[in-house]
Amino acid sequence: MTAEPTIRISEIFGPTIQGEGALIGQPTVFVRTGGCDYRCAWCDTLYAVESTYRRDWKPMNAQAIMKRVKDLSSGKPLTITLSGGNPATQDCSALIQAGKQDGYSFAMETQGSIAQDWFKDLDILTLSPKPPSSGMSTNWDILRDCANAAGANTKVSLKIVIANDEDYAYAKEAHAHLPHLPLYLQPCNTQVSKDHINMDNLSADMRALVDRITQDQWFTPIILPQLHVYLWGNERGV
């Protein structure tokens, strides 16, 4: 008998609200997977990225994950957000199928470095390619493959964080590669400390980004804050 496949889980928490992107402010339960193919300079979830934390990740099958989600949401179907790390490094197809049978919908954020067939079953796909300040590079062909892997009813958008002028130029390049996708920009939270977040700096960065697009007359992107950082800083979800 073949063992049921499992997903490496870093944490499951909520219900809370989505803090960024197309679903900002909407209730959700987060399923954060463990493992990532990137190592961003300003990553604030290294506990879900670095292999040194692997001992803290729990292999769970779809039924066990959904049981935890149902316990947290009191059985009320809402949106499940797949996050990481990079959830695209694992097979989440069985989880999506199990959740949809119970009326849950699925959103996922990924940097767009790995395309998977099961993207077609997502309700929301946020592609968040990492700008130069991350220290990572983007394969535009693979990013396009990720967008194309989405289903006919999957809402796909681009979300890019901005830390400096180079990132801003990168956002324009990303939009040029995928001009048909809604584009969300937000100031990058480079304050990785768990102990203190300078809210004045966050607000100043937000104002600077708004001023920049206004001066450039670039009215394509939607400008949003990282709402969860304003509310909880870099606090973990558990």
CATH at 132: 3.20.20.70
In a domain, 1, yes or no: no
Domain range enclosing 169: 7-232
pLDDT per residue rounded down to tens, the chain (238 residues)? 556 899 999 999 999 999 888 998 999 999 999 999 999 999 989 999 998 999 999 999 999 999 999 999 999 999 999 999 999 999 999 999 999 999 999 999 999 999 999 999 999 999 999 999 999 999 999 999 999 999 999 999 999 999 999 999 999 999 999 999 999 999 987 665 555 677 777 788 889 999 999 999 999 999 998 776 656 566 666 4
How many whole angstroms separate alpha carbon 183 and alpha carbon 176? Answer: 11
Sequence-separated (6 or more) residues with CB below 8 Å from residue 73: 14, 15, 29
Sequence-separated (6 or more) residues with CB below 8 Å from residue 177: 140, 143, 144
Report which DSSP code applies to 87.
Answer: G
Tokens of residue 105, six digits: 């919908």
How many whole angstroms separate alpha carbon 147 and alpha carbon 125? Answer: 8
| Burial per residue of 53-71, b for 16 or more beta-carbon CB atoms within 10 angstroms, e otherwise | beeebeebbbebbbebbbe
Number of domains in the chain: 1
In a domain, 238, yes or no: no
In a domain, 94, yes or no: yes
| pTM, to two decimals | 0.91
Report which DSSP code applies to 134.
Answer: G
